[in-house]
Amino acid sequence: MITTKKTLLITLGCSWTFGEGAGCEPGMSLKEYDKIRYSSDYAWEFGWRRYVVEHFDVDHVNLGESGSSNQRQLHYAKNYFLSSKFAKDYKSHEHVIVLWGITTLRRNFMYFKDSKMYENIFLKEENVFQTKWNTNKDKMTKALYKYCYDDDVALREVQSDILHWNQYFKLYPKIKNFWFDIFGSKHYTVKIRNFIDIDKPKRDLLYQICKNHLSGEVEKWKIEGRENYDPNFLDKYSTCFGYAEEHDLVNPYSFHPYKTGYKFIGDYFIKFLTPHIDDGL
Amino acid sequence: MFLITFGDDWTLGTGAWYKPAMPRIVYDNTEPNYEDSWRILVRDYLGCQDCHINFAKPKSSNQRQFSLAKDYFNSKIFLDSLTRYGENDKRRDQIIVLWGLTTLRRDFKWCSDSKRYEDITLNEEYDDRYNKDKIGYGLNKWCYNDMIATKELQAEIIHWNIFFKRLGIKNYWFDSYNSKNYTISPSNFFDITAKNRDLLSLLCIKHAVSTRNSKGNWAQDPIEYALDNKLINPHTLLPKKDGHKLIAEYFIKKLT
């Protein structure tokens, strides 16, 4: 018989929430890595969610997935929170915690006629775009980036969504929800009360891993002050991938944390959530 | 009572100022006046002269309306009014949201040439000068699917229904000028079980009934029927003053 725990933890976000690459060992070849990169077993076993779930002994629903955009997570949330599954989940738990990770702004997702499915798209500078493929998805991605994308506009839209969902969750007395930046701390123009470390200029998970690793002042600028800009998958809002890569804090193939990094993130969330969870459960 | 409206030209009341045989040039140069629109007639009937906010915009997409709703219901003005009324205050029941859903073949995006948000029409051709047209062409060619767009709209309807219900606000939906093939039937969607539930069909049906036109030929092409029978203005294909009166009566009956 499956027994229901007192609390339900719902997580949203991109690959970092899912736990992509969590089974990667230092020195692993690309071929070996490709075999385990998207494994949900490894993602669960060595990703950060398990540490939090087991520490607090809570039930868990994860909507985060590899390559996900903020838009895709909003879409999943909309569909999950209106579903009968959620109604049942809500009814059967005393508390619901929603931990929602905000990923890079330069992603989106759309339905494509040729594949007949929703696909993630990665908005990139035209010069690095892989035009050799020239698929409909590539053409649409290029057009969206060229004709319709602006970092500040994208940030405003995310903020508006965050505020809307804050208000939505507030209507459910059992829900407590929190936001966090995954990699790259955005320069939000509103102070969102339940955004983890919103008062700090840098607050993302990648930064936390790097800060924890940093031992002296010499390289401080690499995580605190540099606007690292990698048009392949990042936005202009600074990230710490340079430092993380140099110090082998992320794997060299997909730049996701190793097991130790995910464990660190798990502990970070446990520390954060403890005072918010009634009676320590 | 406080009336909040969302929608496109059909809700805004564009063209309510059209007079029979008005030439295009005169129509285009007439100052918009919404006094004869159903929105204003309903507003006045409900006694909301000073308590009405309208978000309906010309050629608006559903996406624009959802975005405007998000911003308004996030806003301090709205949140302050809620705080003022308190959680169990009956005055929250007095807020009515009337939301008109337009065609699915529109979208809403910020465009880098105009540096503003634009309503995008999904088209098979495009004017190379404008980003909104180029994007509209791409969306139509590579991404648009009727069933998917309907599903996405349905998710929004349910999402907002939950939101309003939990806030204690009464809200109603209607189809503006085409009836979509919904697979859900929320009780607060006007005439959801009817196949032709949109306002254009309403005008056509009323006309067909009053003229004893039993052929039902309006259903094949309501726009053509409405044009042939002068139910809509020929310049923008929107209701005229008498059409607005009919629509207002329809809403008043539904709301009271």
Please tell me which of the candidates A113, A164, A168 has its beta carbon nearest to residue B142.
A113
Mean pLDDT of B72-85: 84
The residue written with tokens 């969902």 in the block is: A165
Asked whether the ipTM of the predicted complex exceeds the cut of 0.85, the reply is: yes
> CB B143 to CB A172 under 8 A?
no
Please tell me which of the candidates A111, A143, A149 has its beta carbon nearest to residue B138.
A143
**Confidence category of residue B215, pLDDT binned at 50, 70, 90:** low
CA dist B178 to A140, B100, B153, B172, B201, Å?
A: 28, 11, 14, 17, 8
Q: Does pLDDT of A59 surpass 90?
A: yes
Cα atoms in the Cβ-side hemisphere of radius 13 Å centred on B38? 26
Q: Does pLDDT of A231 surpass 70?
A: no
Lowest mean pLDDT among A194-203, B90-99, B179-188: B90-99
CB interface of A with B, residues 11-40, below 8 Å: none
> What domains, with CATH codes, occur in chain B?
2-105+146-194+241-255 (3.40.50.1110), 106-143 (no CATH)
Q: Does pLDDT of B57 surpass 50?
A: yes
A106: CB partners within 8 A, 6+ apart? A122, A123, A124, A149, A151, A154, A233, A234, A235
Please tell me which of the candidates A75, A82, A112 has its beta carbon nearest to residue B142.
A112
| Token pair for B108 | 């809403």
Select from A196, A201, A271 the least CA-distant residue to A240. Answer: A201
The CA distance from B106 to the nearest CA of chain A, in Å, is 15
B73 touches chain A (CB under 8 A): yes
The CA distance from A122 to the nearest CA of chain B, in Å, is 16
Over residues B221-242, the pLDDT tens digits come to 899 999 999 999 999 999 999 9
Over residues B123-163, the pLDDT tens digits come to 998 889 999 999 999 999 999 999 999 999 999 999 999 99
Max Cα–Cα distance, chain B, nearest Å? 55
B168 touches chain A (CB under 8 A): no
Over residues A146-183, the pLDDT tens digits come to 999 999 999 999 999 999 999 999 999 999 999 999 99
Please tell me which of the candidates B67, B74, B109 has its beta carbon nearest to residue A148.
B109
B110 touches chain A (CB under 8 A): yes
Contacts of B61 in chain A (CB under 8 A): none
Over residues A8-44, the pLDDT tens digits come to 999 999 999 999 999 999 899 999 999 999 999 999 9
CATH topology of domain A7-106+149-280: Rossmann fold (3.40.50)
Contacts of B139 in chain A (CB under 8 A): 140
pLDDT over 70 for what percent of chain A?
A: 90
Provide the residue ranges of all domains of chain A, joining segments of one domain with +: 7-106+149-280
A90 touches chain B (CB under 8 A): no
With helix as H, strand as E and coil as C, how does chain B read?
CEEEEECCHHHHCCCCCCCCCCCHHHHHCCCCCHHHCHHHHHHHHCCCCCCEEECCCCCCCHHHHHHHHHHHHHCHHHHHHHHHHCCCCHHHHHEEEEEEECCCCEEEEEECCCCEEEEEECCCCCCCCCHHHHHHHHHHHHHCCHHHHHHHHHHHHHHHHHHHHHHCCEEEEEECCCCCCCCCCCCCECCCCCCCCCHHHHHHHHHHHHCCCCCCHHHCCHHHHHHHCCCECCCCCCECHHHHHHHHHHHHHHHC
Over residues B238-251, the pLDDT tens digits come to 999 999 999 999 99
Chain B residue with the nearest C-alpha to that of A77: B159
Q: Does pLDDT of A229 surpass 60?
A: no
B67 touches chain A (CB under 8 A): yes
| Token pair for B154 | 């349905």
A133 touches chain B (CB under 8 A): no
The size of the A-B interface in CB pairs under 8 A is 77
CA angle in degrees (0–180, nearest 5) for A128-A130-A132: 140
